[in-house]
Amino acid sequence: MTIRRDIRYPFAIDAASGQAAQTDYASHVDQMIRQILLTDPGERVCLPTFGAGLRRLLFAPMNSSLGATTKLLVTQALNLWLANQITVKDVTVRTANSTTGGPVSGPPLPDGAIAIQVTYVLIETQSVTQTEVQVI
């Protein structure tokens, strides 16, 4: 069985070969998740609805509704843009003073930062994977 290789996100040139840099499938999907979560709608001229828009939440009040709103934005964006690659199982949101959606450990966050942990199933391999993204 051959190991699937995909073009790296974000795109880069491999210095050794001079061709498009490649990565394994699980890393490729992880990179796509990060790109979706850290892109604001309207940021891409040719794809204005792309992204989750999480940066606009950085100035929202840090209360329980922030966690619910973040979970909703993350789940909707990933289900819209990666429905053929992943199935989202859980989204946990952590701020400097609270956690929403389940226990998450990690280093302390700076004031105003949001850490999002996404648990998902890679459809192609049926493996459960986690990715954490910090929005600062």
State pLDDT tens for residues 68-112: 999 999 999 999 999 999 999 999 998 877 655 555 567 778 877
3-state SS assignment for residue 109: coil
Question: Tell me, what's the pLDDT at 64?
Answer: 78
Q: What is the DSSP string of 52-77?
A: --GGGGGGS--SHHHHHHHHHHHHHH
State pLDDT tens for residues 10-38: 788 988 889 888 888 898 899 999 999 99
Contact 95, 66 (CB under 8 A): yes
CA atoms within 13 A on the CB side of 67: 16
Question: Tell me, what's the pLDDT at 63?
Answer: 79
Mean pLDDT for the stretch of residues 58-66:
83
Residues 43 and 40: their CA atoms lie apart, in Å, by 6
Handedness of CA 2, 5, 75, 95 (dihedral sign): positive
Q: Greater confidence, 118 or 136?
A: 118
Question: Tell me, what's the pLDDT at 62?
Answer: 79
Residue 90, number of CB atoms within 10 A of its CB: 14
Is pLDDT at 51 greater than 90 in this prediction?
A: yes
Global confidence as pTM: 0.82
Q: What domains can you pick out in the chain, each with its CATH number?
A: 5-135 (3.10.450.40)
Question: Tell me, what's the pLDDT at 101?
Answer: 54
